[in-house]
Amino acid sequence: MARYFVKLSYKGTKYHGWQIQPNAVTIQEILQKAFSLILKEDIEITGAGRTDTGVHALNYIAHFRANKHIPDISKLIFRLNSFLDKDIAIHEIFKVNETLHARFSAISRTYEYRIHQKKNPFLTETSLYIYDKLDFDKMNRFAKILFEYNDFTSFSKLHTDTKTNICKIIQAEWVQRNEQYVFIIEADRFLRNMVRAITGTLLDAGKNKITEQEFRKIIESKNRNSAGASVPAHGLFLTEIKYPDFL
């Protein structure tokens, strides 16, 4: 038996996120069926973490264990991509040490939230259209404040099963990319709904709805009701997952 890592990407528009759930089509379910069918054994796919309904992944990592030797991985990738829906793509499959885990071995994750301010029919499923004028300099100043804190309860979905709301933010900034503006955030871990809640609150700052002092009070309150509304899922991308150098 051997353990393999899988690098893949998916457009999450028509899926109910990563994790298998009853009465809903998810990425994990689709992959397990595809791998099991092609490898002719029951394959359980473990992902690097949840993504919510409608969220996309440019670089996602999962792992599986196979009882049988896989003689030609490139052929397996070709067969999987031929079988899978056009919204899911397998990029790499490679053998790893049994101790490595797609979720628990990760040392950081990076997300991007993408918005655009000129109507564009080609961005409707992957970027949030905002007509309001935004102060991006102010939004970047507020984003830097996040580095001063490590308890992000105010940006967490309520009633989750997480044991701690402590996270270390490594990067948080808005950048312009052609006609889009992108919020890039990297941390050692993320809480449920955290990126979308932070983004929504920073957009409130960009619309001059909150001051710097109020932004700090939102974080310090540890109260989700104090923060801004969560932005819609379709503008969110998981873009990178980092692992130890020895991987």
Question: Of 52, 72, 87, 135, which one is the catalytic site residue?
Answer: 52
- Comparing CA positions, the residue from 9, 65, 13 lying closest to residue 36 is 65
Q: What is the distance in angstroms between the CA of the first residue and the CA of the last residue of the chain?
A: 19
Contact 17, 26 (CB under 8 A): yes
Task: Give the tokens for residue 48.
Answer: 């690097």
- Comparing CA positions, the residue from 109, 124, 80, 217 lying closest to residue 171 is 109
Q: Is 52 among the catalytic positions?
A: yes
Interatomic CA distance for residues 220 and 211, integer angstroms: 14
- Comparing CA positions, the residue from 151, 130, 109 lying closest to residue 203 is 130
Active site residues: 52
